[in-house]
Amino acid sequence: MGAEQAIGIFDSGIGGLTVVKQLIRFLPQEDLIYFGDTARLPYGTKSEKLIRQYAMEDAAFLLQYGIKMLVVGCNSASATALDLLQDKLSIPVTGVIEPGVTAAVNISQKKRIGVIGTTATISSKAYDKKIFASDKKIEVFGQPCPILVPLVEEGWLDENITRLTIQKYLEPLLEEDIDVIILGCTHFPVIKNLIQDVVGNTVTLIDSGEETAKRVRETLLNLDILNEKPNKGNLKVYVSDIPGKFSEIGTRFLGKPVVNAERVDFEKYLIEQGVEIFPNKMSVSG
């Protein structure tokens, strides 16, 4: 691994660009390669075995570019396949769940933490398990907020309907006297200010993408592979399909225009690679 090599990030769709946004913020000199598996989203509704397979295939696609570290910018894949990726890959791998959990556990004084995300993420209790592993005394309150995802993608970031939806979803959490909420979906940082306005200043919001970027920087420093070139890094975006409004939605998530996003024939790539994606055809079961 060399400092000049890029960092790879994958997600089931476009939401992982909020993680990329934080990586650019904390690691402006790093080259980034993003792959959004938009042809097969969402991952959260798939079986555990299929998510693990998809995660390994996404990783294989990024590995061909000689990346020095892999970031799993997808909550479902982080919950289901992170252990497999860390076991099978020779480069460091981090997901978006554990960094956010660590920050929340360290910040919470009341030991009462809320988690908001998609129905699949909350049902998986991935955040709960990580939090309990850190501190069994902490109480966790999960709240699925599925309607917020299409509202964000539609661009209704400051509309009354979005505010009312947030209030409706978060009302049960606020009644539990929590002092920290983890934004357990990559869509939610886009409306972080609106969520903060609803919950008030007594509740701290944890952006998992921001915490993940900090973790990546720490890892690169420890391994002495932080890119310290004077000029800013480049971002290359690949997707397995170009969904409607891709540029508009991607710009909203990244905070700046997404230029030169390239659609790749991912199915053809997988067929061509076949059993050679990984030596000895690893088992996706672990």
Selecting among 32, 41, 69, 74, the annotated active-site residue is 74
Cis geometry, peptide bond prior to residue 257 (ω within 30 degrees of 0)? no
Q: Give the containing element (helix H, strand E) for 94.
A: strand 93-94
What amino acid is encoded at 85 in this protein?
L
Is 145 one of the annotated active-site residues of the chain?
Answer: no
What amino acid is encoded at 145 in this protein?
C
Cα-based torsion angle of the residue sequence 271, 95, 144, 14 in order, rounded to the nearest 10 degrees: -50
Whole-number Å distance between alpha carbons of 140 and 143: 10
Q: How many Cα atoms occupy the beta-carbon half-sphere of 136 within 13 Å?
A: 0
Structure-block tokens of residue 217:
């920087």
* DSSP secondary structure letter of residue 67: -
Structure-block tokens of residue 99:
């960094």
Contact predicate 66/41, CB 8 Å:
no
Selecting among 23, 185, 190, 239, the annotated active-site residue is 185
The owner of tokens 């790749």 is: 264
CA torsion sign, 215 to 217 to 221 to 226? Answer: positive
Q: Give the containing element (helix H, strand E) for 140.
A: strand 139-144
Contact predicate 235/34, CB 8 Å:
yes
Cα-based torsion angle of the residue sequence 227, 59, 223, 206 in order, rounded to the nearest 10 degrees: 80
Residues designated as active site: 74, 185
